[in-house]
Chain A
Amino acid sequence: MANALCRAALGFLLLLLTAAGPARAELFEAHEFKLANGLDVVVIPNHRAPIVTQMVWYKVGAADEPLGKSGIAHFLEHLMFRGTKTVPPGAFSRIVAANGGRDNAFTTHDYTAFFQDVAADRLALVMKLEADRMVNLKITDKVVTPEREVILEERRQRIDNSPAALFDEQLDTALFLHHPYRIPTIGWESEMHGLTTADAQAFYRRWYAPNNAILVVAGDVTAQQVKALAEKYYGVIPARPVPVRHRVAEPPKVAAARLTMKSPRVAEVSWTREFLAPSYRAGDKQYAYALQVLAEVLGGSADSPLYKGLVIDHPLALTAGAFYDPDVYDLATFGFTARLKNGVAVGDFEAAFDAIIKHALEGGISNDAVERAKKRMVSAAAYARDSLSGPARIVGEALATGQTLDDVENWPERIGAVTLDQVIAAAHLVIHDDIAVTGVLMPGPTS
C-alpha cells in the first residue's frame, strides 16, 4: 500500500471522523449541558458494547504557558497521575487497571485531556477519581523530581533521538515568528530542567477548574445517567476565576524562510513547505472548510496532481502530499511534504512541484476533482460512529479549540457546500511563495 498522504493523513483522518452524514445528531444522539459550576458536559450514547469512555478536556495547553516555563502544561499532565490527598502516587492507574480499565492522557498547544475506558458499570468510579484530581492534586518534590526525569526521557525518545523531529521543531520557529505555537509542547530541554514543584502548582491552580473543562462521556450510558453522576462528583467542585486565554498575535509574515539540516542519520531528503493558514477559529476562518477540500484535491488521492505528478508520472519522490488541520485555537498550518527519491536534486524537485501548484492555482483544479474529493470526505464520515472513543475525541477537541457541537454536527454539510471557486480562493489566500517556509532535511555530515 502506498498512498499520497504523509503528515496529512492523521489530521485528515480525524477530520473525516468528525462527520457522519446529515442525520448525524440523531445517530449519535449527542447531548450537551452545563453544570451550575460551568462544567461543559457532552454525552454520546453508543450501546454497541457495555463499555464507556470518560474524557476530561482542560482548555489549557502549551501555548498558555508562562514565558520560560515551556513544557509545564505537559509536565502537569504527568503529575496528574502522581497522587491526591486521598489517592496515593501511582494508585490512579492501578485502580483503573484493577477494574479492567485503561487510562492515559495527552497534551497539545491548546488542550490537556485525560481519559479512561472502562466497563459501563465502572463509570461512577472513574468519575470519582477524575473529579478528585481536578481539585485535590498533591504536587510534591518527591514526585516532581523523578517525573521531571521521565519527561526528559520522553523528550529524548520523541525528539532528540530523531533528526526529523528535531528539524520539525526548528521549522515551527520559522513559521511562527512570535505566537507560542513556535514553542514545542514537550518543552525546550534547558527549560524543562528548571521546571519546579511551585511552577506545576501554580499552573494547576490557575487553569484546572470545572468552568475551564469539558467532560465527554461516550458509550453505553444515557444522558440522564451521566447528568446524575456528573452532578454528584463534579457538581460539588466550586467554580473559580480562570484567566482568559491570551496568546500574543502573530505579526504579518513578509519574508520567505528556508531551513536546511544535514544529518548522518537520515537516509533520504525530506522536503516540507508550510504556510500560515486560517483555522476554524482564527484568521479568515470562512476558508477552513475549503482548505480541507484543497488539501484533499491536491494530495489526497491516487490521481491528485501532487501524487500523480511527482510520484507516478514523473517519479521524483517516493511520497508527496498536502496537510491541513483547522482544529486549533489560533492560526493553523497548511503545508506540503515529500520524500525525494534517491539521487533527485532538490532544485529539480522544487521546479516540478512549483509547476504543479502554479497550474493548480491558475485554473488547473476541475470541478469534478472538487466534487469527488467532497464525496470521498463525506462518505468516509460513516466510519466515525464505528468506534467508542473516536467521536469523544472529535467532540472534545472541537470544544476545547473554540468550536461548538453544532459545528461538529454540520461538518458534512459544510464540506458539501464548498465550491470550486472557494477552493481556488482559499488556495490563493494561503499559498504565497514569498512568505513560504521551506524545510530540507538531507543526509550528510553534521558540521
Chain B
Amino acid sequence: MMRFAPALLIVAALALLRAAPAEAVTIEKVESPGGITAWLVEDHSVPVVSTSIAFRGGAALDPDDKAGLATFAADLLDEGAGDLDSTAYQSKLEDLAASLDFDVDQDDISVRLRSLSANLGEAYDLLRLALTEPRFDPAPVARLRAELLDSLSRDLHQPQALAYRLWMKTSFDGSPYARSTRGTPQSIEAITPDDMRGLVKARFAKDVLVIGVVGDITPAALKPLLDKTFGGLPAHAAPDKLGDIALRRSDAVVVSNLPVPQSVVVFGQQGIKRNDPDWYAALIDLNILSSGGLTSRVALEVREQRGLAYSVSASLDPLRHAGLILGQVASRNARVAQAIDLIRQQWRSMHDTGPTAKELAAAKTYLTGSFPLNLDSTARIASILVSMQLDHLGIDYLDRRAALIDEVTLADAKRVARRLLEPDGLFFVVVGAPANLSAARRVAPIE
C-alpha cells in the first residue's frame, strides 16, 4: 500500500467511522382497493412525482424468429394510444411537462414516468393508454422499424457495442441471452403490429408488475390512481418458462478486426446471481479488484502506473437466469495485449490471496457510505424501489443493507474470491487491430 503522510493518518482513522445511514427514506407499502401494490416514498419538498414500474419478463422471452419484439413494441407505446395519434400523444405529454420512457432489457420491461404533481392524474392517464390501448399505427411502426434497423447497423461499426455483442453471443450461444435485445435485421423485418398487440396482452399483467412511486403524493391520493391506471390489466402474464442459463466456456481471447487505433475489450466470466448467499462478499471483492473508479487494483496497474487505458473496470452483472462478471478496457492496439495480461494477473492474485484487511475495511466504508448518495432524486429512488422488488430484497432492505456488508469477514472475502474468480476462465473479446495477440482466434463480426 501507499505510504500515508502523517496528516493523512487522521484521515485514515476517520475512514473507520460509519458513514451516514440510508434511513433518510421511509418506504411504505400501498395497496389499492383493487389490489394493486406499490412501494411509496413520500417527499413533498419538490412538486414532482417519479414513478418507476417494471413487468418481469423482457427480451429473453421473445420468440427466436421475432427477436427484438419487446424492444420494438416498447418503442411504439408512446407513439399513439387510444384516440391520440403519435403527434397528439407526444404533444400532450410535452404540454404536461412530463416524460415517459420505456426500456427493455433481457429480463424486464421497465417504464419511467416523471411528472409535476399537479399534472399527475393526466400523466397517469397517458401511461394507462400506453399500456392498455397502444395503436401501433402503420406510419410510426415503419419509422421505428427503420430506426431499429439503423441502430443495428450502427452497432456493427462501434467497437464497444460490437465487443459486447460478441461476448454475449459467444458466452450464451444457443440461449436467448445470446441475442441482442434489439433482435436482428431479419427478425425486426418479420415483426408485425399483431405481434406487438400479442406481446402487450401476454406480458403486461398484474402478476408480473412492480411499482415504485416517489415524491409529492400521499398514499390516499395514490390508491385510486393505481386502480385507474393498472386495474384494467389482465391478472396473469404468459408464463416465463426460462430456467437457469449456463455460460459457455470459450477460447481465452478472440479478436474481431476493425480498423480503429484503440482496441476495445469486453471481458468477463461466470458470476453469481443476485440471490446468492455470497453476494455481499463478492460485491466487496469486485470493488477492490476492479471498481469503476481509480482506486481498484486493476485501475492502479493498468491506468495509474502504466497509462495503458483511460477506463478499465469490471463488476457483478447479474441477470435473472445467469450470473455474470463483466468488464471493459480500451487500449491502443500496440499495448492492449499488456493490459489483458495485467488484468489476468490481478485476477489471479485476488483469487489466490483475496483482499487485505485494510482493503476490506475501505471497501466496506465505500459501499455502505456511498449508497445514500444514490438517494438524491425522486427518479433514482423510484428505480431503486423497483429493483428491490424485482430482486426480492424486502421492504426493509435499505435498513439492513449496511449490516449485510459489514458482517462480511476477511475469511468470507477470501473464500469467495477463490470460489468466484477464474483467472483461467476469463474470456476476452477484442475489437480493433491489436498487436501481439497472434495466439487468439479471429472471428468474423456479427452479420
Contact = CB atoms under 8 A, between A and B. Distances in A.
B306 A387 contact: no
A75 B43 CA distance: 42
B295 A302 contact: no
B62 interface: no
9 contacts: A91-B2, A99-B369, A146-B307, A153-B262, A157-B330, A161-B159, A264-B157, A266-B154, A376-B97
Contact of A1 (B100, B361, B369, B372): B100
Which 3 A-B pairs rank lowest in CB-CB distance, beginning with the nearest? A100-B369, A149-B307, A302-B90
A91 B149 CA distance: 47
Interface stretch (B186-194, B266-274, B376-384): B376-384
Contacts of A95: 8, 11-12, 15
Interface string A83-95: 0001111110111
Contacts of B332: 152-153, 156
A92 to B, nearest CB: 9
Given A265-B157, A342-B146, A148 B11 contact: no
Contacts of B257: none
Contacts of A264: 157, 259
Contacts of A303: 87, 90-91
Interface of B: 2-8, 11-12, 14-15, 19-21, 24-25, 43, 45-48, 50, 75, 78-79, 86-87, 90-91, 94-95, 97, 100-102, 114, 116, 139, 142-144, 146-147, 149-150, 153-154, 156-159, 258-262, 264, 293-295, 300, 303-311, 330-332, 361-362, 365-366, 368-370, 372-373, 375-379
Given A94-B295, A265-B259, 11 more contacts: A2-B75, A48-B43, A51-B372, A88-B5, A93-B294, A100-B369, A153-B308, A157-B311, A302-B90, A342-B146, A380-B97
A86 B294 contact: no
Given A86-B7, A160-B261, A265-B157, A49 B46 contact: no
A1 B307 contact: no
A386 interface: yes
A337 to B, nearest CB: 15
A149 B14 contact: no
A90 B294 contact: yes
Given A51-B376, A388-B376, A2 B144 contact: yes
A36 interface: no
Interface magnitude class on chain A? 35 or more
A152 B156 CA distance: 25
Contacts of A150: 303, 307, 309-310
Interface string A244-270: 000000000000000000001111100
Interface in A110-142: 117-122, 125
A98 B159 contact: no
Interface in A337-396: 339, 341-342, 372, 375-376, 379-380, 382-383, 385-390
Contacts of A14: none
Contact of A49 (B90, B309, B375): B375
Contacts of B146: 315, 318, 341-342
B20 A51 contact: yes
Nearest to B333: A156
Contacts of B154: 266-268
Contact of A154 (B7, B310, B370): B310
B139 to A, nearest CB: 7
A312 interface: yes
A444 to B, nearest CB: 13
Contact of B24 (A50, A86, A94, A383): A50
A199 interface: no
Given A2-B75, A387-B377, A376 B330 contact: no
Contact of B48 (A102, A118, A266, A382): A382
B257 to A, nearest CB: 12
A145 interface: yes
A177 interface: no
Contact of B295 (A97, A160, A372): A97
Contact of B369 (A101, A163, A375): A101
Q: Report which residue of A102, A118, A119, A389 has the largest number of chain B beta carbons within 10 angstroms of its beta carbon.
A: A119
B157 A266 contact: yes
B406 to A, nearest CB: 13
A161 B264 contact: yes
Nearest to B48: A386
A301 interface: yes
A311 interface: yes
A357 B143 CA distance: 23
Nearest to B2: A88
Contacts of A390: 377
Contacts of B304: 89-90, 146
A121 B365 CA distance: 14
Contacts of A154: 310
A308 interface: yes
Contacts of B331: 153
A275 interface: no
Interface in A257-315: 264-268, 301-303, 308, 311-312, 315
A156 B330 contact: yes
Nearest to B332: A156
Contacts of A94: 2, 295, 362
B156 to A, nearest CB: 7
A204 B154 CA distance: 41
A340 B43 CA distance: 44
Contacts of A88: 2-5
Contacts of B91: 301-303
A120 B158 CA distance: 41
A94 B377 CA distance: 26
A100 B235 CA distance: 43
Given A302-B90, A308-B87, A122 B156 contact: no
Given A91-B8, A93-B294, A379-B97, A100 B330 contact: no
Nearest to A27: B46
B295 A102 contact: no
Nearest to B20: A119
A379 B158 CA distance: 37
Given A91-B8, A149-B306, A388-B376, A98 B20 contact: no
Contacts of A86: 5-8
B262 A125 contact: no
B373 A102 contact: yes
Contacts of A152: 307, 332
A45 to B, nearest CB: 11
A100 B5 CA distance: 21
A207 interface: no
Contact of B365 (A89, A100, A380): A100
A383 B380 CA distance: 13
B150 A339 contact: yes
A407 interface: no
A348 to B, nearest CB: 16
A108 to B, nearest CB: 18
Contacts of B97: 375-376, 379-380, 382
Nearest to A301: B94
A147 interface: yes
A81 interface: yes
A95 B295 CA distance: 9
B379 A117 contact: no
A265 B43 CA distance: 48
A264 B257 CA distance: 14
A90 B307 contact: no
Nearest to A390: B377
B47 A382 contact: yes
Contacts of A382: 46-48, 97, 116
Contacts of A386: 46, 48, 50, 377-379
B100 A99 contact: no
A298 B329 CA distance: 40
Contacts of A117: 370, 373
A303 B89 CA distance: 10
B24 A48 contact: yes
